[in-house]
Amino acid sequence: MFDTFKNRLEITGTLKTVTALRISAGRSTEPIGSDLPVIKDALGKPLIPGSSFKGALRSRLESFLRGIVGSDRKIVANPAVNDEWSLTATELSEFKEKILKNVKQEEKEDRLNDFILSNTDLISHLFGSPWIASKFQVRDLTVQPDAWFGQYQERDGVAIDRDTETAADGKLYDYQVVPAATPFDFKAVVENAHDWELGLLMIGLHQFETEQIPLGGGRSRGLGVVKLEIDKMRWIDVEGNPEFLLKYLKKLVMGDETAYEDAADYKDEWVQKLIDRLTRKKTKLSETQTQAQ
C-alpha cells in the first residue's frame, strides 16, 4: 500500500475554540494547582493531540456510514470491541492456516494482502486498523504563539447528593480549560488514498468546519465546540507518471508552490466517488440479505 508513492494531500489551517476546551491530562498529583489540568506541551502551552482530533473525526464518520449502509462489521466496524472488527484475529489465523499453507511461497504475501484489504471496513482503509497502517496523519495541534498569553481558566465542579440535592461532602473539585477563541495550528497529510477515501475525508472535515464535532470532555456542559478553518489543500497525483514525479520532487526541493494543485477543484469529484462506492456496497448488501432469506 505504501511501497510506491502515488499521491499526497496536505491540509493546513486553524482550529479555533468556539467555547472553552478541556482535554484532560488526568488528575494532578501536585499539592497546588488545578485538580484536573489540561494537556500541555513541554513549555506549558495547551496542546490538542492529533489522536483526539482523528478519533473524533473517525467516530463521526462511522456513525454516518452506519446510518447509510447499516451496522455490518465488514462495512463499518467497531474498533472498541475485538469481535466486532471487520477482520478478527481468529479469521486472520484461520486464513493463514487453511488457505495460505497450500499457496506457493512467492504468492503468499500477495494473497494475504488481498484477503486483508477485501475484508477491511471502509473507515479502516483510511484511518488504519491493527493490520493496516493509516493513510491519514494528523499532527498534534499546537497553539499559535502570537495568540497565547498563558490565559488558562479554572472552573469548579461538584457532585450532587441525590437525597439533599445539594453539594456532596468532599466532592468539590476544580478543572482547567483553554478559553474560547484560542487558535491552534492544524496540519494533516494523506498519502496513497483512493478518490472515495478522500471523499470520506472531505465530509468529515466539513463537520469540523461547521462546528458539528466537539472535542474533549465536558461537552454536555457546552465545552469543546471548535471550528476548523482550512487555509490550503495541496494535492499531487503522480500515479503511473514517473516523469511527473521527478518534476514534482525538483519543484519541492526548490520551494516551488506550483508542485501542487489546489485540491478544492477535486472535492466534488471525490465525494461523488464515495457516494458511488456506498451505493454499490448497499446494493450488494441488499442482494446478499435477499438471497439469505
Worst-scoring range by mean pLDDT, 1-10, 61-70, 210-219?
1-10
- CA 190 – CA 277 distance, rounded (Å): 20
Written as nine digits, the cell of 144 is 499559535
Q: What is the pLDDT of residues 46-98, one digit of tens each?
A: 999 999 999 999 999 999 999 988 888 888 888 888 888 888 888 888 888 88
Residue 155's beta-bridge partner residues?
A: 175
- CA 173 – CA 34 distance, rounded (Å): 8
Distance of CA 199 to the CA centre of its chain: 14
Residues in the chain: 293
Q: What is the pLDDT of residues 258-286, one digit of tens each?
A: 899 999 999 999 999 999 999 888 777 66
User: For the chain, what is the total number of helices (H) and then of strands (E)?
Assistant: 7, 9
Residue 175's beta-bridge partner residues?
A: 36, 155
pTM of the complete model: 0.86
Q: How many Cβ atoms sit within 10 Å of the Cβ of residue 122?
A: 23
* Kind and range of the H or E run holding 171: strand 167-177
CA atoms within 13 A on the CB side of 101: 7
